[in-house]
Amino acid sequence: MFLFNDVQQLVMKANDDLVALIKVRISEHQKAEAHMLKCVTTPFVVTEKVSRLIEAAGRKSLADDPPESDDDVFDPSLGEKSKKQ
């Protein structure tokens, strides 16, 4: 968004009015930019409920289609990848 698309009309304003208008537009632009930045930099936090649902879905998937003997399996309790035994 260009802050001063109406530059032709702005140059006709009294100096004090122009300065006030410029400050307002810059302030509004900064607020909009800060909001946009917050939206793209704020990490998404997974709630405990969602975490449990994801874990349950993973366990169901493993139960429905168990890993084969030569598959690598990550065991969070061990903190490492291991071969399925």
Note whether residue 69 is domain-resident. Answer: no
Note whether residue 80 is domain-resident. Answer: no
Tell me the per-residue pLDDT of 10-66, one tens digit each, with 9 for 90 and over: 889 999 999 999 999 999 999 999 998 888 876 778 889 999 999 999 889 988 988
* Rounded Cα distance, 1 and 77, in Å: 51
Tell me the per-residue pLDDT of 52-83, one tens digit each, with 9 for 90 and over: 999 999 889 988 988 787 877 777 766 665 55
* Rounded Cα distance, 4 and 23, in Å: 12
Query: Token match 């939206």: residue?
Result: 39
Note whether residue 32 is domain-resident. Answer: yes
In the chain, how many domains are there?
Answer: 1
Note whether residue 77 is domain-resident. Answer: no
Query: For residue 84, is it left (φ>0), alpha (ψ between -120 and 50) or beta?
Result: beta
Per the structure, the complete domain to which residue 26 belongs is given by: 8-63
